[in-house]
Chain A
């Protein structure tokens, strides 16, 4: 018994490589793998999963005290926050334009341009800009900053079935990447990619956000959707062959398990330890399923997940 033939798959497909940044800024490339995560015996993983640190354009009033104490005064304005995120090891910055939400400050295109301009000037990492997730406001702010950031190859989200034409056209015109978000369904993700492709947006300018469920709140759905998207892509379905992005931080820090301070069963354990583990396990599981970018909130989680990310790479350190 001197040889052992481990079954390997002759995958026909590979994930599209998507580049962010460049043109004077630092750049990163995500995707490109020809196998499932960590399967070094089978295929190549030329780019490790990237870690985006989420920052917001206004000081978040509802964040957990554990996040607030980790960031300190830096979160009082997006520029100091972005700079701190660079220090904490972000591969890219995910800027949420929360002030544009009608229930927040209902700010518009002008304010969005100002803050994006400042952040672009303050740090040289690639940038991802997310709207407030209210469709009219998303379109207003995203289309404005798309022009402002022309050539800097930022990622713009969210691009959904209701606004994909406008976002795709703007990404094409200004050289950006669209974050295509579909509600936890393999076919809906694929369908949106097809729509984007049909209006001329190339696959190297699309990221799929399959909608993230956090640990304990639908993580298993996202996990299996990502695995199925990856298997579809590897078996040769081009329209599922784009890198996957997951909003792990936002989803896990929304939950009671992360937010609660006291008033919970002792079996839940120490608050900060549990909250950080909640985010770290959410991200770990999603990367193990096949996520190419995870957005995170806590610096300690960034450190932990980065160690994992470094191992999902041809060059392991």
Chain B
């Protein structure tokens, strides 16, 4: 990335103001901060424009697969999530072979397309299908491609190394921008032509090594293909992090163009069971894959993988939090119990989820702690008796209920005494430590309390 001063050197330095900024230097600074596009300057020489645009290009290209429903991958800027964040979560894609009976395929496609699981208020799901020409027969492949395309709006990856077969499949579905997989050392010229003719992204596959892969992408790029995805070949548990780290470092640290693209991986190719595939896929989520093609669709492993992806791609600088306030759960009345917790989204959704599934009406008071879990917030002095008492008053909780009892999380049982001092008219009840025990706690402690 160029600094403002470096960009300034390429500008006309006339301070004409037509870009909307008073001086060329002011404009250069905004360009360096990526707040405006260099194209706003009408007097830039062709040569300068090329240099500046090349320098502004992200080290890993953003590539889009699919059209209406699309998968965007790449454009990462760091090696470690704590340095900033990871931006585009890897697509989790299910591979289907054209040797499968079509009835089974359609059932799988429907199930996988509809699959959705909710976590911290977000809906998580899969991202596409990879269709493999296992039969080597063009008719079977086209039938599979059409069947899947007709039953799902998911982005597709077309997997055949035979250009004529690929061409036939593209004629059916290229309007929806599938990924072509793959250009190899043997077929790359024809595959590059297809990618250009159909305006589809192209995967470049070269298992021999990174040098050979770079040579091949450079050749494909010279033909005019820009949207490239790298396939470094089948990698096992020992090579996956090793190889993908080399790719990421070359792109980020050396701005090495021939390998500055997202990476596609096939964990099923080097593992022997669904559990092993999940372990390797987990490594790929943590370390640098952009598309992960799975050979198994089973919610028992998909849900953990989607959760891991959500965890790793959470912006470390922005804890996901919910707004402070009083939340009604199961249509509560003035006699319903009141519990208090923090505004860390995971904490909130765990507690709210358990309160809801208990079937009992209740009120949940959420304190502003800057998005910290109960113990962390308490340790940081943001979930103290003073804070809780302040929140009780701020949201006028007393007006919603006819009792004066508040349930605090079991993890902060130690604050009971001090909270009694802060809220002298209230009874402080110590709830369970874990959210999952809330239901039974309410049934035992709250219901018996009412009957007394």
Q: Interface residues, chain A, CB within 8 Å of chain B?
A: 1-7, 36-41, 183-184, 215-220, 223-224, 227-228, 231, 254-257, 259, 263, 265-274, 276-278, 280-281, 284-285, 288-289, 300, 304-305, 307-308, 311-312, 316
Bound state CA distance, A18 and B312, in angstroms?
Answer: 30
Are A267 and B303 interface neighbours, CB within 8 A? Answer: yes
Bound state CA distance, A4 and B232, in angstroms?
Answer: 15
Given contacts A7-B249, A41-B242, A311-B238, contact A288 B286 (CB under 8 A): yes
Q: Which residues of A contact B350 (CB under 8 A)?
A: 256
Q: Which residues of B contact A289 (CB under 8 A)?
A: 286
Nearest CB of B to A308, in Å? 5
Q: 4 closest A-B pairs (Cβ-Cβ)?
A: A269-B300, A269-B299, A273-B300, A311-B238
Given contacts A38-B241, A41-B246, A220-B311, contact A281 B282 (CB under 8 A): yes
Are A220 and B287 interface neighbours, CB within 8 A? Answer: no
Beyond the given pairs A6-B246, A285-B286, 16 more chain A to chain B contacts, judged by CB atoms under 8 angstroms and listed by A's residue number, are A3-B211, A6-B249, A6-B250, A218-B346, A218-B373, A224-B316, A227-B80, A266-B299, A267-B118, A274-B300, A274-B301, A280-B275, A280-B278, A281-B305, A285-B312, A307-B276
Nearest CB of B to A143, in Å? 25
Bound state CA distance, A267 and B246, in angstroms?
Answer: 36
Nearest CB of B to A196, in Å? 21
Bound state CA distance, A269 and B274, in angstroms?
Answer: 14
Q: In terms of DSSP, what is the predominant structure of the interface of chain B?
A: helix
Are A277 and B301 interface neighbours, CB within 8 A? Answer: yes
Nearest CB of B to A33, in Å? 13
Bound state CA distance, A272 and B301, in angstroms?
Answer: 10
Interface centre among A2, A37, A272 (most CB of B within 10 A): A37
Are B211 and A4 interface neighbours, CB within 8 A? Answer: yes
Q: In terms of DSSP, what is the predominant structure of the interface of chain A?
A: helix
Given contacts A288-B286, A311-B238, contact A269 B276 (CB under 8 A): no
Checking A41, A216, A231 against B311 with a beta-carbon cut-off of 8 angstroms, the contacting residue is: A216
27 contacts between A and B (CB under 8 A): A3-B211, A4-B210, A7-B249, A41-B242, A183-B376, A215-B304, A215-B307, A216-B119, A218-B346, A219-B311, A220-B311, A223-B286, A255-B436, A257-B304, A268-B117, A272-B300, A273-B298, A273-B301, A277-B300, A281-B282, A288-B241, A288-B282, A288-B283, A289-B286, A304-B279, A308-B279, A316-B238
Q: Which residues of A contact B279 (CB under 8 A)?
A: 280-281, 284, 304-305, 307-308
Nearest CB of A to B276, in Å? 7
Nearest CB of A to B230, in Å? 13
Q: Which residues of A contact B8 (CB under 8 A)?
A: none
Checking B80, B241, B301, B311 against A37 with a beta-carbon cut-off of 8 angstroms, the contacting residue is: B241
Q: Which residues of B contact A281 (CB under 8 A)?
A: 278-279, 282, 304-305, 308
Q: Which residues of A contact B246 (CB under 8 A)?
A: 6, 41
Contacts of B191-219 to chain A: CB distance below 8 A? 210-211, 214-215, 218
Q: Which residues of B contact A285 (CB under 8 A)?
A: 282, 286, 308, 312
Bound state CA distance, A231 and B83, in angstroms?
Answer: 12
Bound state CA distance, A277 and B215, in angstroms?
Answer: 39
Bound state CA distance, A311 and B276, in angstroms?
Answer: 13
Query: Who on chain A is nearest to B241 by CB?
Result: A38
Q: What 0/1 pattern do residues 134 to 175 of B give for CB contact below 8 A with A?
A: 000000000000000000000000000000000000000000
Nearest CB of B to A45, in Å? 11
CB of B361 within 8 Å of the partner chain: no
Checking B80, B211, B214, B303 against A269 with a beta-carbon cut-off of 8 angstroms, the contacting residue is: B303
Nearest CB of A to B208, in Å? 12
Nearest CB of B to A244, in Å? 16
Are A268 and B282 interface neighbours, CB within 8 A? Answer: no
Nearest CB of A to B144, in Å? 26
Interface centre among A41, A216, A308 (most CB of B within 10 A): A216
Nearest CB of B to A307, in Å? 6
Nearest CB of A to B286, in Å? 5
Given contacts A7-B254, A223-B312, contact A274 B282 (CB under 8 A): no
